[in-house]
Amino acid sequence: MGDEKGIKRRDFLRMTGAAVGIAALGGADFSMAAAKLGKKVERSKLMTTTATFDPVRPEMARAICEAFSRHLGWDAEPYPIDYNQNVQKVIMEHDYDMWLVRFTGSSIRIDPNVFIYKAHHSSQYKKGGYNWAGYNNPELDRLAEEQQSEMDRERRQEIVYKAQEIIHQDQPENVLVNPYMTNAYRTDRLRNLVPQMGEGIGSFWTDVEMEVVQGDGYVRTGATVALKNLNPIAVKDANEFKELRMIYDRLFRISPKGVAEPWAAKSLSVVSPTVIDMTLRQGMRFHDGQEVTAEDIKFTFDYYKTWKAPFFLESLKKIKAIEITGRYSLRFELTSPYAPLIPNLFGSIFILPKHIWKDIPEKVDVEDPLKYPNEKPVGSGPFRFDYWQRGAELKVSAFKEHFHPPKCAGIIRIVYGSHDSMAAAIEKGECDRTRYILKPSLMQDLNKLPNVAGRGYPSHGFYDLSYHTRRPPFDDPAFRRAIAHVLPKGIIKDVILDGQGDPGGSVIAPANEFWHNPSVKPFPRDIEMARRILRKAGYGWDKHGKLHYPPGRGA
């Protein structure tokens, strides 16, 4: 049947009609194998979230289950439930068959460690762990550990390439599609927007580089999710990171291409795999005028560790000691070599002003910094805090004394009740750009207007179909490989996502250029191939065209 580029709804219907025929022909397998069949492959549930949470996921789940049933004679049913319940069932209890989930393209996921080690190492199959698939391959475990401690980037890349091949062959999950970050902005007001992998024009680089050619110089940035928190210790979700990173500096910043580059740190040298020397940029100041020194950096790491800042807790365990070696220099001693340290800790932790945070929580009305609202955040970032009207808007202004001052006067983050009202505000000129994803159909509508651009930007995030690999039929790699040939990726991309994505292959997306293994490609959609793989593995079909396990196998 080949690949399905450019499939439209009409083609989809025609195809499904043809598929019924193929399924009927499957009965031919019955004649020769009926006596040797094992138990019927039981009905499975494909869990995902509700349309309210994400309108496309239930649609994808329906298309996938339909394909399994029609082409393989194996019944699967979509099971859309509240997202919170998804997390509970899958990540906490491991009680599921298949899970359709979206990994957003956050900057912490650019480093391959999350998708190689955390998602696939057998030790991560635990309550709250990322390897909810229960995947267990000693060879992959070895590579996952090796890439984590390999401090040489080129050598680490080779290991990561190999790991991607193994994961792809074993198929503990299938990367369905890499969706684009769909954004829109006013072309008559903004210039020089810099998209970043996984973030589109909602990126930090757009924040600091964009120019405003009309009005008061402030960029009205629309979002549909209210900002919850401005406490850099309690930071949890991507929206909080996006706003806090404007106010607080980091030692490293992830570049538009996804590479960690020195920012507040001037240089870094790896003395040994467990000893790192760092020199700070001189002349940096917090927004209240105090200088940023090595004292603040050491305080920051100690403070995050003392108070067990949840988001950073795991990475912080790798830091054994920090020694101040000069007013602007430090030495980090690690418990063991840890390659993701630079992007995922140095590139994400926010530098705290010691002179403010040393009194928290003792001199404020809370017993734990996690409960401190940090109403007037003071950092050293390129934007200083003006005000936050909770549930409505956040305003920050350019900090002109910064070593990389923004080109705009500031940013006003506005919360809209829906994607539609945000799109209307852009159309009317009340909003200048979107911070996060705009519904693809609205983006395309906006793109037809003068003075507005709607575009999709590549992302390393993906929609993922996870299997419980410790439950039949998903405990059989052959079965997982076979069903990979049936997945309707063309329909998902062209019909469900309005063309705003690319069919997925590796867990490290092509957008993540350095770490992506180009030889790992999506399995072609080939129904006959799927059936051949199943037949070869001993599966068969009964007279009703229903799929059966090989003799002696089955739940």
Partner 1 sequence: MREYIIQRIAYTFVTIFVVASILFLIFRMLPGDPTAQVISPALDESAQKRLKQAFGLDKPLYVQYVLYLKNLTLLNWGRSFTSSYKVTDILWYRFWNTVFLMGAGMCFTLVVGPGLGMIMAWKRNSPLDVGATVGALIFQSAPPFITGLVLLMVLSYRLDLFPTGGMHTPGFHPESLVAQFLSRDFLHHLVLPTVTVALFYLATPMLIMRDSMLEVLGSDFIELAKAKGLAPHVVMIKHAARNALLAVVTVSSIMIGFAIGGQVIVEQVFSWPGMGRLMVEAASAHDYPVAQATFLSLAALVIILNLAADIAYCYLDPRISLGKESVP
In angstroms, rounded to a whole number, what is the distance separating the alpha carbons of residues 120 and 129? 10
Minimum CB distance to partner 1 smaller for 69 or for 434? 434
CB of 408 to partner 1, least distance (A): 13
Q: Are 153 and 160 in contact (CB under 8 A)?
A: no
List, as one string, the DSSP characters of 254-284: E-TTS-EEESSEEEEEEEETTEEEEEEPTT-
The amino acid at residue 524 is P
Q: Are 192 and 173 in contact (CB under 8 A)?
A: no
Minimum CB distance to partner 1 smaller for 288 or for 368? 368
Q: Which helix (H) or strand (E) holds 72?
A: helix 56-72
In angstroms, rounded to a whole number, what is the distance separating the alpha carbons of residues 106 and 221? 19
Q: Are 263 and 255 in contact (CB under 8 A)?
A: no
Question: With CB under 8 A as the contact rule, which of the stretches 284-292, 332-340, 428-436, 454-462 interacts with partner 1?
Answer: 428-436
Q: How far is the CA of 222 from the CAs of 200, 428, 430, 435, 449, in angstroms?
A: 14, 13, 9, 6, 18
Q: Does 389 bind partner 1 (CB under 8 A)?
A: yes
Q: Does 217 bind partner 1 (CB under 8 A)?
A: no
Question: With CB under 8 A as the contact rule, which of the stretches 285-293, 365-373, 400-408, 442-450 interacts with partner 1?
Answer: 365-373
CB of 83 to partner 1, least distance (A): 8
Residues 128-167 touching partner 1, rule: CB under 8 A, are: 128-130
Binding mask 92-121 for partner 1 (x = CB under 8 A): x---------------------x---x---
**CA nearest 345: which of 377, 404, 293, 300?**
300
Q: 499 phi and psi, to 5 degrees?
A: 80, 0
Q: Does 237 bind partner 1 (CB under 8 A)?
A: yes
Q: Does 412 bind partner 1 (CB under 8 A)?
A: yes
Minimum CB distance to partner 1 smaller for 10 or for 363? 363
In angstroms, rounded to a whole number, what is the distance separating the alpha carbons of residues 322 and 93? 38
Q: Strands 181-186, 452-457: parallel, antiparallel or unpaired by DSSP?
A: antiparallel
**CA nearest 248: which of 350, 354, 337, 180?**
350
CB of 130 to partner 1, least distance (A): 6
Minimum CB distance to partner 1 smaller for 53 or for 514? 53
Q: Does 414 bind partner 1 (CB under 8 A)?
A: yes
In angstroms, rounded to a whole number, what is the distance separating the alpha carbons of residues 504 and 176? 5
In angstroms, rounded to a whole number, what is the distance separating the alpha carbons of residues 164 and 146? 14
Query: Quick one: which of 6, 18, 51, 88 contacts partner 1 (CB under 8 A)?
Result: 88
Q: Does 234 bind partner 1 (CB under 8 A)?
A: yes
Query: Quick one: which of 392, 470, 536, 543 contacts partner 1 (CB under 8 A)?
Result: 392
Tokens representing residue 10 in the block = 């009409």
Minimum CB distance to partner 1 smaller for 297 or for 422? 422
CB of 105 to partner 1, least distance (A): 13
Question: With CB under 8 A as the contact rule, which of the stretches 60-68, 145-153, 386-394, 453-461 interacts with partner 1?
Answer: 386-394
Q: How many residues bind partner 1 (CB under 8 A)?
A: 59
Binding mask 458-477 for partner 1 (x = CB under 8 A): --------------------
Interface contacts to partner 1, rule CB under 8 A: 81-85, 87-88, 91-92, 114, 118, 126-130, 216, 218, 220, 226, 228-229, 231, 234, 236-237, 308, 310-311, 313-314, 366, 368, 370-374, 386-387, 389-393, 395, 412, 414-418, 421, 424-425, 427-428, 430-431
